[in-house]
Amino acid sequence: MTYAEKLRSPMWQRRRLEVMARDGFKCTECGDGRRTLNVHHRWYERGVDPWSHGDECLTTLCEHCHELRTRVDDDSKRKTGALSREELVALLDDADRARNCVDVKAAWTADASRRLERLDAVKQELLELMEESQGNVS
């Protein structure tokens, strides 16, 4: 069976619908749910049928984002094909460092959000105390 035939098979059609439902029938890049949606393979594994890839490999993209993502992926494949093993390892290390920065920023943002919620609660208590004390003075 050719790859094109596999993409027309009921097994792939069922898997695509599962992925689209998981993603809320919206593009995971731009959030659009009105354009035609595609299920994009973030990577391929040799010998694995399209419907057998895990959830982490598959994402829902609108036609526009899918076209852009495919162009970027194809461009990356051409560029990384010309890189040495050392350059590829360095590129992966840079990606890991960038991912760690994002994780740290997300944790910091969550912590800051919790602190702001606590400050709002303290502010509310102070306002209530002030109102009570003004009521007692009258």
Q: What is residue 59's predicted lDDT score, i.e. its pLDDT?
A: 93
Residue ranges making up the domain that contains 104: 84-138
How many domains, in total, are found in the chain? 2
3-7, 26-30, 104-108: range with highest mean pLDDT: 26-30
Looking at the fold, whether 48 and 97 belong to one and the same domain comes out as no
Looking at the fold, whether 77 and 94 belong to one and the same domain comes out as no
Q: What is residue 31's predicted lDDT score, i.e. its pLDDT?
A: 92
Which pair of structure tokens corresponds to residue 78? 């051409």
Is a pLDDT exceeding 80 seen at residue 95?
A: no
Q: What is residue 112's predicted lDDT score, i.e. its pLDDT?
A: 75
Q: Is the dihedral of CA 48, 50, 54, 57 positive or negative?
A: positive
Looking at the fold, whether 121 and 94 belong to one and the same domain comes out as yes
Q: What is residue 60's predicted lDDT score, i.e. its pLDDT?
A: 95
Looking at the fold, whether 42 and 2 belong to one and the same domain comes out as yes
Q: Determine what percent of the chain is predicted with pLDDT higher than 90.
A: 32
Q: How far is CA 49 from CA 37, 46, 56, 102, in A?
A: 20, 8, 15, 33
